[in-house]
Amino acid sequence: MDQSSFQKQLSALRDHRAAASGSMREAFAADPQRFEKFSASDSDLLLDWSKCAVDAQTMSLLEKLAAAADLEGRRAAMFAGKKINITEDRAVLHTALRNLNGKGITLDGQDVKAEVLAVFDAMSAFADAVRSGKAAGATGKKITDIVNIGIGGSDLGPAMATLALAPYHDGPRAHYVSNIDGAHIHDTLKGLSAETTLFIIASKTFTTVETMTNAETARKWVQKALGKDAVGKHFAAVSTALDLVAKFGIESDRVFGFWDWVGGRYSVWGAIGLPVMIAVGPKNFRAFLNGAHEMDEHFRTAPMAGNLPVLLGLVGWWHRVICKYPARAVIPYDQRLSRLPAYLQQLDMESNGKSVTLDGNAVTTPTGPLVWGEPGTNGQHAFFQLLHQGTDVIPVEFIAAAIGHEPDLKHQHDLLLANCLAQSEAFMKGRTLEEARAQMLAKGMKPADVDKIAPHRVFSGNRPSVTILYRKLDPHMLGRLIALYEHRVFVEGTLFNINSFDQWGVELGKELATGLLPVVEGKESAAKRDASTAGLVGHIHHLRGSE
């Protein structure tokens, strides 16, 4: 990053924002070409950011800022396997997991391609065997249910993708257990038969307490139903820590590895995607990878002005740093993407929720925003009130498919899209007091009532949103969409000048939890804890005593 030219562009953008006048409504009225100017597509995936408060100069300044941050250099370093995750001394090569037909990718002089392909082939063979019934349970019955036990990156990606690809799901049912709360595994196993259930223990480190505890519970459940020797046929594992997997007792031909150059939240493309592959089959899983690879190539080669991840990142950075919006809402008008907001929360917030720059200094601009969301139209009937009329401006990202998977229900899909478009129009246009009054008077309301109610029916408008529109949510498109978001996080992280690939912020709570367990259990005194923690522990014991 060239600090002085970055600071120069930053000031220029701040001045540009301060000098801006006029609303988006006016900008649309003045320029019939606004949509053409502020939208871009890559085959059947379109990004429209025309309903954001930007103009040609904004985009040109943002591009200069990206150049000052050496976005192209950092992008090249990532794809080349340079150790850009400096605090963990690791390369960042999740893109290699989906580059199945491309040239060899080397890391420290080693071709990682061969290893990637070997794992992909082993996963495919195992997935086929489970799907066909060849890899049956201990009593010879075909597997009907798989239970993935993992958390964070070892859960959210495959859980999100399994739901997204429901129309392609022709394998065993897939369940996901993540929480340490015993209720999660208990409720999941209720109704399942051990004879026909396969557990996949997914953990990059194979030390995560939630996953190891749930795995132990699952093992006992299988052993209780089918005896000690049944474990081999009912467990598989995915990890980078193959020695720890072996200790747990999972047979080596059911263990699928990955590498420290794949971050947990970037790992769905490799062995962590095994439950998805079993659910939808290797062919569809490959299409998912190919879609992501296509987006990688687009990100790597498309010129800035038409590069979708770059544009989405620039607009996101503009909203966060220059406009100072604290959050962004992701609203998929695609029910099957209902877990996308949760997935993006980890991808975005664990990557870019940082306060220290790459060189260890305090950041001088805000970094990653709060990311949250729910599918549309549900969100409309819950929290859109605040998005339209609340005191904070929260940019919204609308995500929608032109075509649904249910031709018989096309009228519902049309209604879905009409709602999606209506919302972004409403955020942009708003409704003035005069418009509110005129509407009410036209409906025959008494002028006194109009005076009283009209202010409540005003929408400030001028609230930004982007729309991501694609043809249909098939495996290939899902891959492109997720890779688009991954690279967007990379672009914003580069502009924030932070390391998007570590996650030290999750450690402190983990350490304290280990120390607090004996206190909660009553084996150690809470006296040395702060008064609140000690008081809460005391109250837990009190409530338990009254059971």
Residue 81 beta carbon to ligand G6P: minimum distance, rounded to whole angstroms: 21
| Strand bridging mode 173-177 / 45-48 | unpaired
CB 410 within 8 A of CB 404: yes
Closer residue to ligand G6P (CB): 118 or 506:
506
DSSP string, 36-61: HHTEEEETTEEEE-TTSS--HHHHHH
Residue 212 beta carbon to ligand G6P: minimum distance, rounded to whole angstroms: 9
Residue carrying structure tokens 């590069």: 307
Q: Is 208 in the site for ligand G6P (CB under 6 A)?
A: yes
Candidates 166, 165, 188, 164; CA nearest to 177 is: 188
Size, binding site for ligand G6P by CB under 6 A: 14
Q: Is 153 in the site for ligand G6P (CB under 6 A)?
A: yes
Residue 203 beta carbon to ligand G6P: minimum distance, rounded to whole angstroms: 3
Closer residue to ligand G6P (CB): 210 or 492:
210
37 is catalytic: no
Q: Is 63 in the site for ligand G6P (CB under 6 A)?
A: no
Closer residue to ligand G6P (CB): 137 or 157:
157
Say how far residue 181 (Cα) sits from the centre of its chain: 23
CB 314 within 8 A of CB 201: no
For 9, the 3-state DSSP assignment is helix
330 beta partners: 397
350 is catalytic: yes
- The H-assigned helical ranges of 139-281 are 156-164, 182-189, 209-226, 231-234, 242-248, 274-280
Question: From the list 95, 162, 197, 203, which residue makes contact with ligand G6P (rule: CB under 6 A)?
Answer: 203
Q: Is 503 in the site for ligand G6P (CB under 6 A)?
A: yes
Residue 398 beta carbon to ligand G6P: minimum distance, rounded to whole angstroms: 28
Residue type, 79: F
Segment holding 416, helix H or strand E:
helix 410-429
Q: Is 152 in the site for ligand G6P (CB under 6 A)?
A: yes
Residue 478 beta carbon to ligand G6P: minimum distance, rounded to whole angstroms: 20
| Strand bridging mode 327-333 / 45-48 | unpaired
Q: Is 211 in the site for ligand G6P (CB under 6 A)?
A: yes
Candidates 284, 287, 254; CA nearest to 271 is: 254
26 is catalytic: no
Q: Residue 133: which region, alpha, beta or left (left: phi > 0; alpha: psi -120 to 50)?
A: left
Active-site residue (options: 350, 374, 397, 492): 350
Active-site residue (options: 247, 510, 528, 539): 510
325 to 364, contacts with ligand G6P by CB under 6 A? 350
Residue 421 beta carbon to ligand G6P: minimum distance, rounded to whole angstroms: 36
Closer residue to ligand G6P (CB): 349 or 393:
349
| Listed ranges 177-185, 204-212, 432-440, 536-544: which one lies at the site for ligand G6P (CB under 6 A) | 204-212
Q: Is 368 in the site for ligand G6P (CB under 6 A)?
A: no
Query: Which residues contact ligand G6P by CB under 6 A?
Result: 151-154, 203-205, 208, 211, 264-265, 350, 503, 506
Q: Catalytic positions, please?
A: 350, 381, 510
